Amino acid sequence: MPYNRTNKFMCYCFAGMVLALSTALGADSASSARPAPIVRAASVVRADAHTGRLIRTVLVNPNALTGAPAGAVPDGGAKKAMAPADIQSLRELVDHEVDGMAARYGIDPLLVHSVIRVESNYNPVAVSRKGAEGLMQLIPSTARRFGVSNSFDVHENIEAGVKYLKYLLDMFGDTRLAVAAYNAGENAVLRYRDVPPYPETVDYVYRVGKAHNAARQNAPAVQPAPAPQADPGPPPAREVEAYVDEAGRICMRTR
């Protein structure tokens, strides 16, 4: 192709697009303990497709971080600027969704929380170098596989992550292997018939297991349900006797 001003302009545009994409995906929060950034979010109420129950969902914009360009928020600055009420509201929503989804799909909610902690540290707009998104770091193919239209939607993200964990637990029948597959993919675990010897995966399984054990140790003890009270039944019948009053009338009374 002959060189001209048009081709030069197109090359600059393409380079600019690549640079912008690299900047947006540069921060891998899956392995970072950095506080969650400020998020411009909208809270909406809708009916759950499965139960018809009204649920509240926070929709977040991954590009709206403090109104500044990606990477411009210093370490620790985002958490100081984020209102404590917003942090509390987000955590309450995550707890509500995790409890509901874990109960629906029959898995331990503490395991789900442990995966979220290691994957994103509860950052709903986390994006890894590999393009994994949201709280449970769904890669685009996994998001499509479980019908997710917006990986930054707290409800959709947690439901898909929990469904995927349930699928892996059923496949391998072992929490350790299921967690390894969540990180490296089920095919890698099937190929090695164990945790794949990838340093990232080995470390990931260790950190999720450590978080899970700590969560179980710190969980409040479940109080046993009180024994049902025996039904005492109706009170015993009182004895009835007949007597004659002073006027000579026959009367009845109980003892």
Cα torsion angle, 79, 75, 155, 149, sign: positive
**Contact at 8 Å (CB) between 71 and 27?**
yes
CATH architecture of 30-218: Orthogonal Bundle (1.10)
pLDDT of the residue at 47:
59
C-alpha to C-alpha distance for 116 and 158, rounded to whole angstroms:
9
Q: Which residues contact 79 (CB under 8 A, 6 or more apart)?
A: 35, 36, 87
Active-site positions read 119
Is the Cβ–Cβ distance between 129 and 112 less than 8 Å? no
What's the CA gap between 143 and 59, in Å, rounded?
16
CB 139 within 8 Å of CB 132 = yes
Q: Indicate whether this model's pTM tops 0.85.
A: no
**At what angle are helices 175-184 and 154-172 packed, to 10 degrees?**
120
Residues 165, 119: Cα–Cα separation, whole Å: 13
Tokens at 166, concatenated: 């349930």
Predicted pLDDT of residue 48: 58
Distance between CA atoms of residues 234 and 57, nearest Å: 52
Q: What is the pLDDT along the chain (255 residues), one digit of tens a residue?
A: 444 444 444 444 434 443 333 433 343 443 333 333 334 444 455 555 566 655 545 444 444 333 323 332 333 333 344 567 778 888 999 999 999 999 999 999 999 999 999 999 999 999 999 999 999 999 999 999 999 999 999 999 999 999 999 999 999 999 999 999 999 999 999 999 999 999 999 999 999 999 999 999 998 876 676 777 777 777 777 777 777 778 878 777 777
The pLDDT assigned to 32 comes to 39
Residues 6+ apart with CB under 8 A from 78: 34, 35, 36, 37, 38, 65, 66
Nearest to 69, CA basis, from 96, 37, 99, 98: 37
Phi-psi region of 76 (alpha: psi -120 to 50; beta: other; left: phi over 0): left
